[in-house]
A = this chain, B = another copy of it.
Amino acid sequence: MSFFLPVLLGTAREGRRSEAVAQFVLEQVAQLKGVETLLVDARDYRIRGTDDTETTRLEKRFAKIVTEADGFIIVSLEYNHSFPGELKMMLDMADDEYAGKPVGICGVSSGGMGGVRMVEQLRLVTITLGMVPISSAMYFSNVEKLFDAEGVLLDQKFVTRLKPFFHELLWYVEALKAQRKKTPLSLD
């Protein structure tokens, strides 16, 4: 079996520091055997106004990715103890397409808590959407000091930490893809 695990980047702000984290995670996912990935950037899914045609086009594009995905990795900074609004707006663009698919969350913060409160609030949203939040999470604290000017990761311990995170995620990806093939999951 091969799997498609897109990496969702949750912030759209100018000067966002979580982009380097998302790039690092994306590279690591791409090295997993039998796994394909893609960066899905909240910047590309901003709803700019009340133009229904444009909104519908973005929703269709996003829902298509969610339909094809076997699981998700979300990378996001924490603002004010929760997720960025643009991440929530992007996630709200799909619905049934998430059902029965696992998700691993990577918190990012300028401070020392690694976005842990964002991770908790986001887990509740993902459950509602029908995703399965895994027990492991990644916490990228003090993000300003984690990468050099070229965006190269300075602390290799995150490579090590990703291993059990990926291991758990893939355990669920495999189990649930097999089950979805056998019996489609429909949620109310």
Q: Could you tell me how many residues of chain A have their Cβ less than 8 Å away from some Cβ of chain B?
A: 59
User: Is A151 an interface residue when CB atoms closer than 8 A count as contact?
Assistant: no
User: Is A91 an interface residue when CB atoms closer than 8 A count as contact?
Assistant: yes
User: Is A187 an interface residue when CB atoms closer than 8 A count as contact?
Assistant: yes
Taken together as a complex, chains A and B put the C-alpha atoms of A91 and B123 apart, in Å, by 20
**B117 lies within 8 A of A124 (CB):** yes
- Give the residues in chain B near A132, CB-CB below 8 Å: 132, 172
- Give the residues in chain B near A185, CB-CB below 8 Å: 168, 171
Question: A80-B125, A87-B85, A116-B116 are contacts. A100–B171 as well, Cβ < 8 Å?
Answer: yes
Question: A14-B52, A100-B171, A116-B116 are contacts. A84–B88 as well, Cβ < 8 Å?
Answer: yes
Q: Which residue of B lies closest to A121 (CB)?
A: B121
User: Is A28 an interface residue when CB atoms closer than 8 A count as contact?
Assistant: no
Contact with B along A116-138 (1 / 0, CB 8 A): 11001101110111101111100
Taken together as a complex, chains A and B put the C-alpha atoms of A48 and B49 apart, in Å, by 7
Least Cβ–Cβ distance between A46 and chain B, in angstroms: 7
- Give the residues in chain B near A128, CB-CB below 8 Å: 80-81, 135
User: Is A174 an interface residue when CB atoms closer than 8 A count as contact?
Assistant: yes
User: Is A50 an interface residue when CB atoms closer than 8 A count as contact?
Assistant: yes
From A1-9, A19-27, A65-73, A176-184, give the one contacting chain B.
A176-184
Q: Which of the listed residues A48, A121, A175 has the most CB atoms from chain B within 10 Å of its own CB?
A: A175
